[in-house]
Amino acid sequence: MSQAPEVNRAAVVTPVRVIIALCLIAPFVAMLWVGSYAKTDPAFLGIPFFYWYQMAWVVISTVLTMIAYQLWQRDQRARKSERGAGS
C-alpha cells in the first residue's frame, strides 16, 4: 500500500518540450498580434510591410515547424532508448 505513484513519462515537461511548444506557438502569436504589423512602412522591394511581414512568417513558420519536428523525433528516440535500457 505504500507504493509511490508512477509518473506518467508522457506528461513530463522538459526543456526540449518547452522549446518545441515555443517553436509552434510563435507563428500564431506573431500573426494574431496584428497591431505590430498593420502598417505600410518599411517597404521591401516596393511591397508594403503588412504583406512582406506575413510572407516572411510563412518561411519562418516552416523552419520552426521543421525544428520542432526534429526535436520531437530526437526526444522520442531518447525516451524509447531509456525505456529499453530500463527494462
pLDDT tens for residues 6-49?
656 667 888 999 999 999 999 999 999 988 888 889 998 999 99
Q: What's the rounded Cα separation, in Å, for the pair 48 and 76?
A: 42
pLDDT tens for residues 56-84?
999 999 999 999 999 999 999 988 888 77
Residue 9 has a pLDDT of 60
Residue 21 has a pLDDT of 96
- Distances in whole angstroms, Cα of residue 66 to Cα of each of 4, 27, 36: 38, 13, 25
The model carries a pTM of: 0.78
Q: Which of 30, 33, 27, 36 is nearest to 67 (CA)?
A: 27
